[in-house]
A and B are shown apart, each in its own frame.
Chain A
């Protein structure tokens, strides 16, 4: 069933149209990829969905889950133009193309912060270390340690995040996003800069977390082995326009796509 939908979202910066009429559909449990040449507008599309940019035109619609009379109920919510922290609060988390970890903070703190948005105690209660707050803090730490163990970073918890090797930094960023309890995870070039072995590990990792955390994944990627390996559907963007969408097989055989992109790619 559909979790997220964008309705002809367009992003214009002054005279430049970065993305035009992007229509995305994300269904529960899918892994969907967005590919295209550099500068095609892919990260801009991400930014429109996550609230970093407000689309010049169009809407972003999220099917929000709520419990009504003990039953799951989904209601469509227009999330266009909401702030990033609000969108994350609804359950849409992301990672960044250029890894934006909190460099000076420890691995543990990086992920702990992603728990903050769900905190119920106010700042006074936190300062006074009231029992309600202490309980929440304990839960957050437990949850974070579990998450770190699952991604294999638990032994590095006190290390400064910027001291981690590149591959582990990427994994930490994903762990951090997972800590916000998302239903949808947006990954911006998660395999960037990785060698084939690391890319393999990452591919299994994404499938694993999708299953374990009941996620829907939308990712931007250039590494075709990741894209073709695990995506159910692929969107192809060039100069902001969606030139094709379909299954990996369809995309691999699409003439327009081959001309624009796959034709010059050595990974395919």
Chain B
């Protein structure tokens, strides 16, 4: 087997050992943060595929996450909890009779999000730049408005509570790994090159035979699939979902992650997801009273993050990684440089 493959397998095994230890020893607060890191990795990567690799400026991510979160919640929730939630208006059939295990629920959530992406994409992906941004933002809000008004499916503004907390480190890191492998494989394939060509120059790409619409829809649907799965993981971690969770703010947060990491870099999104998620926890103190006599300033934390986004986009446009990726070769190369004077190789 090639050296790189062995290294990758070793890394995965190391991750499994880490997850096993963490799952049984860490306290719930740390576990939650670790879960969120993995989930935001999935979400960041899914948005990066659409925005960073294919160059489509989509602001609709929160909508896909909402579809995924609600679907997973409704499919995994035990019947008794459903009854409790839907006390105003009963849940429609057959949802009020079905309970499915986590994996099929997640898959269905992803597929449903992809389907919604297809419906939205068909009219909207013909638009350029700014218009695409507003149209996708609009659809994301429409999804939220619809969810707020369909009492008999989503429980409207009340949202769903008591979602089974089935997300654990195995699920979240497992999904993150799958997402990473799928995306790496996709980006390095002919289709991935077609996506990048669309990002670089649509007109040239089309003239070289790349069907714009078909490929934009493909990218959109795959991104939405993982956004839906990520949303499902999120819902079943937090235990509750409601329409207000899925406002454009959520999309902006993920946008911050991919901009900071570098919009054309898978590695960048992974690093950035971890950095931002941990930073959001670490900086929580900013929302508390800090100095005696000065009252708490809730929301200061988010101001810091918005300033961070501005700083990155104004001064560090390429983010942490630009379009560079991690590779075992590069990592090893870092360690084996011997200075020429000591008889090393060039």
Contacts and interface: CB of A to CB of B under 8 A. Distances in A.
B200 to A, nearest CB: 4
A214 interface: no
Contacts of A88: 207-209
A238 to B, nearest CB: 26
Contacts of A137: 189-190
B112 interface: no
Contacts, number: 102
A189 B203 CA distance: 18
Contacts of B210: 85, 113, 116-117
A178 B197 CA distance: 17
Contact of A100 (B193, B203, B209, B211): B203
A114 B190 CA distance: 10
Interface in B218-237: 218, 222
A209 to B, nearest CB: 17
Given A116-B209, A123-B218, A103 B190 contact: no
A82 to B, nearest CB: 11
B185 A129 contact: yes
A115 interface: yes
Interface in A63-122: 83-85, 88-89, 93-94, 96, 100-105, 109, 112-119, 121
24 contacts: A52-B203, A83-B211, A84-B203, A85-B207, A88-B208, A88-B209, A93-B208, A100-B204, A102-B196, A102-B201, A105-B193, A105-B196, A113-B190, A114-B208, A116-B191, A116-B208, A123-B191, A123-B218, A126-B191, A128-B185, A129-B185, A137-B189, A137-B190, A180-B208
Given A89-B209, A93-B208, A117-B210, 11 more contacts: A85-B208, A85-B209, A85-B212, A88-B207, A103-B200, A105-B197, A113-B208, A116-B210, A123-B189, A123-B218, A127-B189
Interface of A: 50, 52, 83-85, 88-89, 93-94, 96, 100-105, 109, 112-119, 121, 123, 126-129, 133, 136-137, 140, 176-177, 180
The 7 A-B pairs of least Cβ separation, nearest first, read A117-B209, A100-B204, A102-B200, A126-B189, A88-B209, A84-B206, A114-B208
